Amino acid sequence: MKYVRARFDMPPDGRHPMHQFAVETDVVSEYELLSAWPTPSGGATLLLRFVGDADAYRAALGDVASVVDYHVSAGAGDAVYVYVRDTQEYTPGYTIADLLEPGLVVVPPLVFHTDGSVTGAFVGPPEHVQSVVEAVADDVSVSVEAVTTYGRHGDEAGGRLTDRQFEAVEAAVDLGYYRATREASAEDVGDRLGCSASTAAEHLRRAEATVMERVVDQ
């Protein structure tokens, strides 16, 4: 099965009001949807996390007409956790419901960026991967950031690597490239992959940058 991470550039009228609030203000960052559960009557119950001003967020959330219940609680450090029951009507092409195709699983968290875009990860058989792109509205720009085989690295830092980058790292570890005494070179990794030393080194450099950025984010 495949792991896909994609970024969706949502237009203002396609964003949830609280995502738009994060875009228009500077009081919310690291905004993530940790879990969502649909309710029988429509809408969903959500668990979110962000870093920022809990009071300002709570005040804005109270003004959203579709929100019927919510609790905002401080977490460790600057983290804030939010429980929300939201009855917002489903708008085809603009919500996570579009991505709940048969055979496709959404892997939390969904990340709401302050530029208005949303990043999500999905797992499923290869034939369902394209549904991630096809399900959204025409005015939602989609960029695929990673496609890899889902496995032990799928939901960790390695899940952000391409298949080829992961193969390069796997070969480098196996050959001893990352040992303190560095028992292999980029040329050795290239020989294992069937590519040049410079290409192997580039795969490793990009993989290392991606993993280090993920470690810092976490």
Question: 92: pLDDT confidence band, cut at 50, 70 and 90?
Answer: low
110 pLDDT higher than 90: no
Question: 132: pLDDT confidence band, cut at 50, 70 and 90?
Answer: low
Q: What is the value of pTM for the model shown?
A: 0.66
Q: What is the CATH number of domain 157-217?
A: 1.10.10
Q: Which two tokens stand for residue 9?
A: 């550039």
Q: Given this model, what pLDDT does residue 201 score?
A: 92
Judging by DSSP bridges, how do beta strands 105-112 and 67-74 pair with one another? Answer: unpaired
Q: Given this model, what pLDDT does residue 154 score?
A: 47
Reported for 36-39, long-range contacts at CB under 8 A and 24+ positions apart, including other chains, are 36/96, 38/97, 39/85, 39/87
Helical H runs in 120-196?
126-129, 131-134, 163-175, 186-193
Q: Which residue has the higher pLDDT, 108 or 129?
A: 108
Q: How far is Cα 195 from Cα 77, in angstroms, rounded to an integer?
A: 46
What does DSSP assign to residue 169? H
Mean pLDDT over the full length of the chain? 81
Q: What is the pLDDT of residues 183-197, one digit of tens each?
A: 999 999 999 988 899
Q: How far is Cα 171 from Cα 197, in angstroms, rounded to an integer?
A: 13
Other beta carbons less than 10 A from residue 161's beta carbon: 25
